[in-house]
Amino acid sequence: MAMLLIKNGLIHNAVDRNPFIADILVDNKKIVKIEPDMFRDGAEVYDAAGSEIYPGFVEAHAHTGLSGYGIGYEGHDYNELGDIISPQLRAIDAIEPRDETLLEARNAGVTTLCVGPGSANVLGGTFAAIKPVGCRVEQMCLKKEAAMKCAFGENPKRNYKEKGNSSRMTTAARLREVLFRAREYEAKLACAGDHIADRPPFDIKLQAMLPVLRKEIPLKAHAHQANDFFTALRIAREFDINITLEHVTEGHLVAEELAKENVMLAVGPTLGHANKFELRNKTWDTPGVLAARGCHVSIITDAPFIPQKYLALCAGLAVKAGMDGFEALKAITIHPAEHIGVAHRVGSLEAGKDADIVVTDGNPFDIQTNILSVFIDGTQVFSCRE
């Protein structure tokens, strides 16, 4: 692969508040250097004069590739509806690389996505961090297991109300039970050591929870209603495990309390109708209010609930509601990269990071702005001229 030199663009690197004009040198899939007036013999030159340059956008929470477009049941692969405790499930076993919504996401500048199970179950399985390129999931993955999905609130109640899970108390108790059993299972494995005969019988569910207990991956906690935030956090503290809060619909109502918790928040999907009680306080104010209190905020589409291609538009709507523009940019770049544990590779334009780059003819928060080019790992995967 030849070196790539992107010249003279206005760079918004998601690190510095003020943009600046410079060149980006790319080699071997990585950003090598960002400086003005560079020349490199043999490099392919992309003239970005008059254009704006952004990091590839990052989605912290979606089901893209697990929910077939225009298919229905046959393409619905993000919720297991037969077992409320399903931590052994993995998104990588269901992602469809050829799903057209992945192509739409890529063409809209979304270059990294964290995709996984829905919220029907108390424990739903692991999310994967992927890039929307490749013909098989192994080629797409940044992290095969980025987080373990759990859910609070209405969804587990609604899906299992006839099967013995009709209250928030039951949801919390089921999660605690699994964590207690997994902790005991891990202790028995440790005591057995290399003596196979002394090991407890293999349990695929408890085995799947060990990375959570070891803080290798966080719980990714679906929670819209404020009381559910604090139940999730309380359980995480009880078991000394890492957790992120997902959706956070009522976050603006308890922003001061969330700011004390120092936990990463993924806010959305905010566009659309409040189709259940726990969404009644949904507002575009939420991400801005939380960011203003110093919270770590990512903006999410929860695609397909908002089409993935509108991630930048969601950030624009948050800005319209009062969110600081730089905070909104971070909320779809470096913050979600940190949220899903891949910020060492993506989320900002810095030397050493993957060359995931979006070139536009204006502010991507503006609906009239066009994506001119998208690069993933230094390869141009979209051009408006094609």
**Whether residue 324 sits in one domain with residue 271:** yes
Q: For 89-140, write each residue's pLDDT tens digit.
A: 999 999 999 999 999 999 999 999 999 999 999 999 999 999 999 999 999 9
Structural domain of residue 268, as residue ranges?
Answer: 56-345
How confident is residue 386, by pLDDT bands cut at 50, 70 and 90? Answer: low
**Whether residue 239 sits in one domain with residue 97:** yes
**Whether residue 96 sits in one domain with residue 20:** no
**Whether residue 304 sits in one domain with residue 160:** yes
Total structural domains within the chain: 2
Position 164 scores a pLDDT of 85
Task: Tell how strand 52-55 and strand 357-360 pair up.
Answer: antiparallel
Q: Is the pLDDT of residue 165 over 90?
A: no
For residue 149, give the CATH number of its domain: 3.20.20.140
**Whether residue 158 sits in one domain with residue 107:** yes
Q: For 70-95, write each residue's pLDDT tens digit.
A: 888 898 999 999 999 999 999 999 99
**Whether residue 21 sits in one domain with residue 126:** no
Lowest mean pLDDT among 34-48, 175-189, 328-342: 34-48
Q: Is the pLDDT of residue 56 over 80?
A: yes
Position 29 scores a pLDDT of 97
Q: Is the pLDDT of residue 193 over 80?
A: yes
Instruction: Give the closest residue to 110 by CA, choosing from 336, 271, 285, 265.
Output: 336
**Whether residue 71 sits in one domain with residue 22:** no
**Whether residue 4 sits in one domain with residue 65:** no
